[in-house]
Chains A and B, each alone.
Chain A
Amino acid sequence: MRRTFPSGRSFALAAIGALLVLIDAVAAFATPVKQAPWHPVAAAYRTSLFLAGLSPVSWHAVTAAWIEANPGAAFDKPALDLLNASPGGNKASDAIRAALEARERQAVFAAVTRAVADLLLERLGAARSALEDGDASSAIAEARELYRAFEDGIAAADPEASRRLGLAWLTLNSSAGSRGLLGAGARPADAARFEEALATVSEYIAANFDPETFTPRERMAPLPETVVAAGGEVAVPPVLPPAARMADQEPLPRLVLNFEEQGIDETDLPLVAFGDMLFDSAQIFGDPARSLGIACSTCHNRSDVNRDLFIPGISHQPGAVDVDSALFNHVSNDLRDDPIDIPSLRGVRYTAPYGRDGRFASLRDFSRNVIVGEFGGSEPTPFMLDALVAYMLEFDFLPNSKLGSGGLLTDSASPAARRGEALFRRPFAQMDGRACASCHVPSSNFLDRQAHDIGSVSAAYAGAQSGALDTPTLLGARFTAPYFHDGSLPTLASVVDWFDDRYELGMTEGERSDLTAYLEAVGDADEPYEPFDEYNTPFKLAFEELTTFASTLDLLIPRRDAEHASLLIDTVAADLAADASAMSNLEAKSDVYALATILAEVGEAISAADWTAAEARWSEFKETQADVAERMF
């Protein structure tokens, strides 16, 4: 269930309960956080601006933002319905519809911006009307929720106004008085203060978000008109729309690292540990990915898939993303709306070639393309690529006691799965005499390292010969639904049905069921998710990971490798502090902040080329870490 944040009288319950849903604040952050739900009209506004800022614009999606309920909103009501239900809202609604039909960005910007501004001003008017009854707080709270649509734009472009308006909102709420509780504790309104604050907010909103005309906008950002008209340069932190979800998948996939399973400590493998850090670092990408906190692990959670990841406009469904779209690197925008289902990287050393169509023979080349081409990062150093590849080569498949060597089922598999195993190996004339096992070779991790056109890709143009895709492994497949490159098939059963239909295999219902049971057995795992408990908490996992990353300073400081040490510290110090928010033992948060501060000081010393100080602070970090490690869990 999503929860709104406190408003009016109801603050107490909401704030106690809503511990893990965090509001996005004015600036962008290195660590993705869940956004607090938005007012549906503000959610539609932010979504439509984001989508209208992409190229090419999906007008269908922009329209949907207004006529359909927004998943990032506090409640399921289409924004246009809410507008229509508000006094004078029909006019705003008609203007939005007309602009959407005209498919004109500037007109859409003007119409949607005015709609939010008008509703905000209407709510403030309602608050004024309710002031005498001591009942203005709910209208003020709603107006404030609508103001959130403009808040980061104002903060970026007009900081002085942002502060003035912030105080005005505080004053509005304070001067509205309180009806008290069951007749006791009432506080009278202060009409003069209320009017003054209301004028401050209203006049600014009217002048900047509901002016006579809007200056043509290059960027679809909620910037105040007076600043834009004056031609001021404004650096707006990148933001994602309300329905975006970049937090880790729940439940969190279990990470199986080959060295770890053999009892080798990652701190003894500095190249791997540095690669592990890079895999979690947004610093290796360019903006907006960097500011948005997007790292390799954002999509490939724990070497697997983040099935919850969703970014409106570039994800057609959760777990899919179009990385070469307008969002991340405009230079490599392929102008094609072709999101793909995120593939798992488990066992990646066995799954070459890389890319859904197998276009990269080497993992190193593929990784470099992701960093530079897809996410606009700077050219990685050879050491970075060595480290990243070294780390990824440790990704193992999930242990599965239903499978033995050679990819054969063990006795723990069900009879149905065993019948399915025979079917899997049965050649079909309709498939050129091949069996499922011909491509998904059981003794080769259920793949053949080749690309095949099985008819699953719609032709991009008449006569296109571009439907061949790399054979995916079936290992761990139970946990990576949906299936196919575009995630079009929701279950393994639907995959079986697809092959049966496409190739007219004529399987009986029982055979399809057996084959599905086989795929489920092959794709199963003994422990697919990270087993959290009171001791092994998400914070402990993150803390130990980050301190492991930091341990590579033992390699980098003696080498006087400022470039890679700084990259490490930029990633780890911020994430260390951020991860403290997930601590169970809240009282130990300050210990984590102290560690983050010491690490940042190591970074400062390195930046100043003061290696003696860096060594001293690094030693202090390790001593402090040893001192506090146990008590913080």
Chain B
Amino acid sequence: MPCLPVPRRSVLIGLGASLISDRVLAQDGAGLTLAFIPQENPDKLLGDIETITAWLSERMGIPVEGFVTFDHAAAVEALRNGDADISFMGALPFVLAESEIGAEPLLSEVYRGRPTYRGRVFVRRDSGIATLADLRGRSIAFADPISESGYLFPLDEFVQAGLITDAGEAESFFGEVFFAGGYQQAMQAMVGGLVDAAAASQYADLLLTPNQQAEVIWIAESEPIPSHVVIARPGLDPAIKERFTETMLALNEPENRALLAYVYGPDGYTPADAAAFDGVREIARRYGFLS
């Protein structure tokens, strides 16, 4: 793997006015630094980070700061060189970070009672499409080339069904393949009749209007995929890890639940199970993300 650049476009957020001293404290091991991957406008994310780091700091009794990284690579590099202690990540980037730097999963996000979700292939109810084989020669919108539920896992369903042998054959199996840019864009393209199918999270139909939801069915779903995960850099003080994990689990308590909205909005957290990522490791190897 290539050496990754230091996140020059990172933005530091700390507590109060003493950003520098907090950061020094954190690097000295007396505090904690969190790296956030931008999933939306950084201006908004910065406000969220300020709220959650203030709460964590008060609750843990140590300075906690956060910064927005440019992307996953920058977050992993920050974990590698100690600029960050903790990061929030999807399952695929986590298994890559695990392989690259020995990152450790601490907490998994919970949605609708589970730390997993599935990828699905959706079609319009009136399309007459009932099986994956029916999509031969038709068009499909995947969410993104590095999406677990919006590409890799649904694509693997076509492999499991014996319709293709690998990702390279997708172009010839389908009439046209698009990467729409996200679940919602893929689902809108499908429901709007621009494409015949969409691959997205099992919950992606809820991104449509209620009336559109009634027009959509799914014809295949993947194995469970671990939901997003909070990971630690290798070598982080076990006592800090434990305290951080306990504190984050306190977000499940009714009086703290409102704060979940400031950490990407899951329903809650549960301790991560490293073995639960075996399926992702296997997919990552099969599709060339891991050697």
Contact = CB atoms under 8 A, between A and B. Distances in A.
Interface of A: 1, 3-20, 22-25, 29-31, 33, 36, 74-77, 137, 140-141, 144, 163, 166-167, 169-171, 173-174, 178-185, 187, 574, 577-581, 589-590, 593, 596
**Nearest 6 pairs between A and B by C-beta?**
A6-B182, A10-B39, A578-B210, A11-B182, A15-B183, A1-B261
A576 to B, nearest CB: 9
A8 B37 CA distance: 12
B26 interface: no
A178 B179 contact: yes
Nearest to A179: B71
B2 interface: yes
B227 to A, nearest CB: 7
Interface stretch (B11-19, B58-66, B195-203, B244-252): B195-203
B262 A1 contact: yes
Given A16-B111, A173-B179, A580 B209 contact: no
Given A14-B182, A16-B203, A181-B96, A23 B209 contact: yes
Contacts of B288: 184-185
A3 B183 CA distance: 14
B183 A580 contact: no
Interface string B194-230: 1100001101101111111110010000000001100
B44 A9 contact: no
Contacts of B184: 5-6, 15, 23, 36
A137 B179 CA distance: 11
B194 A185 contact: no
B1 interface: yes
Interface residues of B, number: 75
Contact of B265 (A1, A12, A30, A31): A1
A9 B37 CA distance: 9
Interface in B110-150: 111, 117, 141, 143-150
A170 B178 contact: yes
Nearest to A8: B181
A441 B101 CA distance: 74
A181 B289 contact: yes
A180 B152 CA distance: 13
B146 A15 contact: no
B262 A17 contact: no
A18 B180 contact: no
Contacts of A181: 72-73, 92-93, 96, 146, 289
B192 interface: yes
B255 interface: no
29 contacts: A1-B48, A6-B184, A9-B72, A11-B150, A11-B182, A12-B90, A12-B147, A12-B148, A13-B90, A14-B182, A15-B201, A16-B228, A17-B264, A19-B111, A23-B184, A77-B43, A163-B192, A180-B289, A182-B73, A182-B100, A184-B290, A185-B145, A574-B211, A577-B211, A578-B211, A580-B214, A581-B206, A589-B213, A590-B217
A7 B181 contact: yes
B203 A24 contact: no
A396 to B, nearest CB: 30
Nearest to B37: A10
A6 B208 CA distance: 13
A171 B178 contact: yes
A562 B289 CA distance: 63
Contact of A170 (B97, B180, B200, B289): B180
B185 interface: yes
B181 A6 contact: yes
A286 B100 CA distance: 62
A185 B92 CA distance: 11
Interface in B1-58: 1-2, 4, 37-41, 43-44, 47-48
A74 B43 CA distance: 10
A579 B213 CA distance: 10
Given A1-B261, A174-B178, A25 B146 contact: no
B56 to A, nearest CB: 17
Contact of A6 (B47, B143, B193, B287): B143
A578 B214 contact: yes
Most chain A CB within a 10 A radius of its CB, from B88, B146, B188, B208? B146
Interface string B83-108: 00000101011001100100000000
B40 A174 contact: no
B144 to A, nearest CB: 5
B251 to A, nearest CB: 14
Given A16-B201, A17-B266, A163 B194 contact: yes
A513 B270 CA distance: 46
A5 B182 contact: yes
A170 B183 contact: no
A471 to B, nearest CB: 38
B231 to A, nearest CB: 13
Nearest to B208: A22
Contacts of A184: 1, 96, 288-290
B163 interface: no
A20 B188 CA distance: 16
B150 A12 contact: yes
A11 B143 contact: yes
Contacts of B141: 170
Contacts of B148: 12
Nearest to B141: A170
B155 interface: no
Contacts of A183: 1-2, 4, 73
Contacts of B272: none
A622 B12 CA distance: 61
Given A12-B228, A170-B141, A3 B265 contact: yes
B40 A14 contact: yes
Contact of B210 (A3, A8, A33, A140): A33
B76 interface: yes
Nearest to B89: A13
B179 A174 contact: yes
A580 B214 CA distance: 8
A5 B189 CA distance: 15
A17 B111 contact: yes
A17 B97 CA distance: 23
A75 B180 CA distance: 23
Given A10-B40, A180-B145, A180-B289, 7 more contacts: A9-B146, A14-B183, A16-B228, A22-B210, A33-B209, A173-B180, A574-B211
A278 B268 CA distance: 39
Contacts of B150: 11-12, 15
A182 B96 contact: yes
A140 B48 CA distance: 25
